[in-house]
């Protein structure tokens, strides 16, 4: 076995002592290497936990964005309420127009809600739904990209390698 750094050759009657010494030295080196591995594992575990925490946080953010853009969301409900309000105003305006034109007593008046639904409510709802879907899709794409970019945080192998080399020199 080659001598390690700082070791002196041992001869004669001291051979058994030397072996004991050598054994002692090797145990010390192994203990030191275990300590490094543990430290490394500890650090790696902490980093991984932090990464997972960040991942959860980012997923939550994306989830929140996606959740905001569904038909059950307050945003959609508020948008629909606004559309209904505007539709009601349009029905009123159309009806007033029919009264002004003297045609309130015709079936044209009865078809005003249908006309508003066709010409305003439906396109507005579709536009809102399209906007929501667009935002949802963007968020989903963002989440997909994020997921794609996630990597397991491997430990830095250099200290472990050096420790292994050191143990091999004992």
Least distance to other proteins, CB of residue 105, Å: 5
Least distance to other proteins, CB of residue 85, Å: 22
| Closer residue to other proteins in complex, CB, 56/115 | 115
| Closer residue to other proteins in complex, CB, 93/114 | 114
Least distance to other proteins, CB of residue 135, Å: 32
Binding residues for other proteins (CB under 8 A):
99, 101-108, 110-111, 114-115, 118
C-alpha 154/C-alpha 35 separation (Å) is: 18
| Closer residue to other proteins in complex, CB, 28/103 | 103
Angle between helices 15-68 and 122-149 (to 10 degrees): 170
CB 162 within 8 A of CB 39: no
CB 82 within 8 A of CB 121: no
Token pair listed for 25: 């030295």
| Closer residue to other proteins in complex, CB, 85/106 | 106
Least distance to other proteins, CB of residue 129, Å: 22
* Nearby residues of 128 by Cβ (< 8 Å), 6 or more positions away: 76, 79, 80, 83
């Amino acid at each position: 076995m080659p001598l390690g750094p700082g070791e002196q050759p041992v001869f004669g009657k001291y051979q058994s002592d030397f072996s004991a010494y050598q054994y002692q030295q090797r145990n010390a080196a192994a203990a030191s290497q275990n300590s490094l591995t543990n430290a490394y594992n500890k650090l790696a575990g902490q980093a991984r936990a932090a990464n997972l925490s960040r991942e959860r946080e980012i997923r939550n953010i994306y989830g929140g964005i996606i959740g905001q853009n569904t038909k059950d969301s307050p945003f959609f409900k508020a948008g629909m309420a606004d559309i209904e309000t505007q539709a009601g105003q349009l029905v009123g305006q159309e009806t007033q127009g029919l009264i002004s034109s003297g045609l309130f007593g015709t079936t044209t008046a009865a078809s005003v809600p249908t006309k508003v639904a066709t010409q305003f409510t439906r396109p507005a709802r579709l536009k809102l739904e399209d906007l929501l879907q667009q935002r949802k899709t963007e968020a989903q794409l963002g989440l997909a990209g994020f997921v794609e970019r996630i990597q397991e945080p491997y430990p830095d192998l250099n200290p472990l390698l050096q420790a292994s080399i050191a143990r091999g020199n004992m």
